Amino acid sequence: MRDEAIAAVVREFGTPCYVYDEALIRRNAARFSRLAYPHRSVHFASMANNNPELLRLARTLGLGVFVNSVRHLKLALDCGFAAEEIIYTSTGVRRSDLELIAALGVHLNLDSVGQLRMFGELAPGRSCGIRLNIDENSLGNVFIGAESRIGVLEAEIPEVLEIARRHDLRLVGTHVYLGTNIVSLDTMLAGVERTLELSDHFPDLAYVDLGGGFPVPEEGVPEFDYEEYDRRITGIFTAYSAARGREVRLVL
């Protein structure tokens, strides 16, 4: 914004004041909604900004919403999102929260062996996803690795599959939180490839949900190449779908 525009906003609304560029938001949404890979869906992360006006705008742009708390789940519903447009993923989910999520029919990615077991007891026979901890060293962040609190490790996958079998749960998707502000496309895609490798363990796989990752533009930092990302992620998921013999949805 130009200085005179900022001054006008301050005169009208005072400070502190948050100003959002709707045109920029629309461009960013379109960047992902127009990816060449046809089997994809894009979600606005409410934990990044839960301003109701932004959530309503995201909905008008055809986006779903990704939430990590019951408060944000209720907010998303109040902003007009249907249950099937919402994905819920979080650590430390209480039993009462799982009961509500199951009752509403919101799609859920379970974050741990304990969460999966609890959900199986509450809602046997349902479909859900599982969050993976891909333990990919190249990503270099605190959200991935044996010390992280997020997702199940490769060594826990046999137990995950056994719990799902015991409670007749269909594990239809995998989710990963790749981190934040990843400026290297090669590094990001290494995490994607590792996620797909671990996703091979799940025979009913219908989607892979890639969370986080994309960098915020900063002065002096090379701009992230979204065109190259589009080309390469499309190639990766096209090849993976062919190998699986079904169309695997890319969820962002």
Considering the domain boundaries, does residue 5 fall inside one? no
Which CATH number do you get for residue 123? 3.20.20.10
Q: How far is CA 48 from each of CA 63, 65, 120, 202, 211, rounded to the nearest angstrom?
A: 15, 11, 30, 30, 12
Within-domain flag for 7: no
> pLDDT tens-digit profile of 129-162?
999 998 755 455 544 555 556 899 999 999 999 9
In a domain, 160, yes or no: yes
Q: Quick one: three-class SS letters along 73-129? A: HHHHHHCCCCHHHEEEECCCCCHHHHHHHHHHCCEEEECCHHHHHHHHHHCCCCEEE
Q: Domain of 235?
A: 13-251
- Within 10 angstroms of residue 218's Cβ, the number of other Cβ atoms is 10
Question: Domain for residue 103, yes or no?
Answer: yes
Residue 148 lies in a domain: yes
Single out the residue of 199, 204, 192, 196 nearest to residue 168, CA to CA. 204
Contact 174, 195 (CB under 8 A): yes
Total number of domains in the chain: 1
Q: What is the rounded CA–CA span in Å between residue 249 and residue 206?
A: 6
Query: Is residue 209 within 8 Å of residue 174, measured between CB atoms?
Result: yes
The gap from C-alpha 204 to its chain's centroid, in whole angstroms, comes to 19
Q: What is the pLDDT of residues 41-99, one digit of tens each?
A: 999 999 999 999 999 999 999 999 999 999 999 999 999 999 999 999 999 899 999 99
Look at residue 175 and tell me whether its pLDDT is greater than 70.
Answer: yes
The answer, as to whether pTM is greater than 0.85, is yes
Nearest-angstrom CA–CA distance, 228 and 186 = 10
Least confident of 11-25, 60-74, 198-212, 238-252: 11-25
